[in-house]
Amino acid sequence: MRPNFPVRLGPAEETLIAQLKSVGADQVAERITVAGLPTRRVEAYHYTDLKTLLRTVPALGQPANEASAPALRIPGAYTLMIANGVIQNASTAPAGVIVGKADGGVLTTRDDLLVSVSNALTNSALTLTLENSVDPVIQIERRIEGEAAHMADAVKVFVADGATATIVETFSGSDAAHVGNHATYIALGKGAVLTHITVDLNARAATHFATNEYHLADGAKLRTLTIHLGAGLSRTNVYPTLGGAESHADITGLNLVADGQHADITMETRHAVPHTSSQPLFKSISRGRSRAVVQGKLIVARDAQKTDAKFMHQGLMLSDEAEILSKPELEIYADDVVCGHGSTCGKLDEDSLFYLLSRGIPKAEAETMLVRGFIAELLDPVEDFELNEALQGIVDGWLLSGN
């Protein structure tokens, strides 16, 4: 509905409108002209008011033919790279992996501005078809190079029936005030098993937006892990749809935020058919004057009887100025289900800390040990040793940095 009063547009909105019109996305531009960027009045952005947080948007980035080395090295991984929206030359793919390219955006149209902008500004998408199980980890590095730039890129993956794989996406770039809008669409065939991990390793000056969309067929098993720790402002939308009987999703995420950062993971898991299950688990650690947000909605369709879904968010505040916000939701239209949600937030357990101190362990080391224990539930299920070590290294680096 068009408001009865004009919306005052800021510099970020004016720039976005001009960029969208330059690529012929007039409808998306009109939406911003009429309503502006999402504010706290938009329920899905209640804790991440983009009109306030996103003050400026840089010029659209230029294609890059060369890129720096990946920000995260995973020994033995098969690595692909997208730099400034351009798919770089890849080495020979493992058996059963078909690498290609498709035009345009990859996300399903929905009422979310980040999704609309992503689809409008994406020129081409990296496509992966996994015809059978893939042994090495597949790493996709998505970088924004050069001076501050606004970039949109996309990845589309199909995992064949019965195939097993692990895909890691890392997001990084030069030390500039980039705005990245990244899209990933993954379809799992019958009985497919996939681990999908995304890690924000951007510079603090950057803004990181991502949307991960999943579709699960009969018997498919999905495990995801979203890690925020780099960009000053970050938001990842996670949209799994369990469309096959006996499909299961473990949707997990970790916000690691320090002074001045704002990180948001927003999930909407849709159980569309009977006999599906999911277990979303998110953790947030905030220190300094920072904010971590987790919004999680479980939607159970009218015909999705025998659904088993439980959502949990746990927060750990390491300073008096830290802020952790949680909004779990259930939207249930079936009557024969087992669903629930929970949220907890607090500081380090004083008794546990006292126990470690009484054993002669320095306070800083004792606190780090407790935080590692808090996070372990998310990292331990990552079975690949080299990948697990790399992720542990990222977390340890954040813990020890103090920034």
All structural domains of the chain with their residue ranges: 63-346
At 402, the pLDDT band (50, 70, 90 cuts) reads low
Residue 5, pLDDT > 90, answer no
On the question of pLDDT at 1 being above 60, the answer is no
pLDDT class of 359 with cuts at 50, 70, 90:
confident
Q: How far apart are CA 165 and CA 193, in angstroms?
A: 7
Confidence of residue 232 (pLDDT cuts 50, 70, 90): very high
As separate numbers, helices (DSSP H) first and strands (DSSP E) second, the chain gives 7, 20
Q: Which of 27-41, 64-78, 162-176, 269-283 has the lowest mean pLDDT?
A: 64-78
Confidence grade of residue 399 (pLDDT, cut at 50, 70, 90) = confident
Q: Residues 147, 59: contact at Cβ < 8 Å? A: no
Overall average pLDDT of the 29-34 stretch: 95
Query: For position 403, what pLDDT does the model report?
Result: 62
Amino acid residing at 281: L
What percent of the chain is modeled with pLDDT above 90? Answer: 85
Confidence of residue 364 (pLDDT cuts 50, 70, 90): confident
Query: What's the rounded Cα separation, in Å, for the pair 24 and 341?
Result: 42
What is the C-alpha to C-alpha distance for residues 278 and 337, in angstroms, rounded to an integer? 12
Most distant CA atoms of the chain, gap in Å: 66
**Statement: residue 401 has pLDDT above 60:** yes
pLDDT value for 51: 96
- Structure token pair of residue 268: 């909407």
Q: What is the pLDDT of residues 267-279, one digit of tens each?
A: 999 999 999 999 9
Nearest to 238 by CA among 246, 228, 390, 229: 228
Would you place residue 4 in the very low, low, confident or very high pLDDT band (cuts 50, 70, 90)? low
Q: In terms of pLDDT, which residue wins out, 367 or 48?
A: 48
Q: Is the pLDDT of residue 66 over 80?
A: no
The residue that leads in pLDDT, 353 or 307, is 307
Q: Among candidates 211, 230, 263, which has minimal Cα distance to 107?
A: 211
Average of pLDDT values for 211-226? 98
| Mean pLDDT value across residues 235-249 | 98
Give the mean model confidence (pLDDT) for residues 166-179.
96
Mean pLDDT confidence for 160-175? 97
Give the residue-averaged pLDDT of 322-351: 93
- Rounded to the nearest integer, the mean pLDDT of the chain is 94
8-state DSSP, 70? P
To which H or E segment does residue 210 belong?
strand 207-216
State the pLDDT confidence band at 363, using cuts at 50, 70 and 90: confident
Residue 92's contacts (CB-CB under 8 Å, 6 or more residues apart) are none
Convert the pLDDT of each residue in 305-336 to its tens digit. 999 999 999 999 999 999 999 999 999 999 99
**Model confidence band, residue 365 (pLDDT cutoffs 50, 70, 90):** confident
Residue 255: band (very low, low, confident or very high) from pLDDT cuts 50, 70, 90? very high
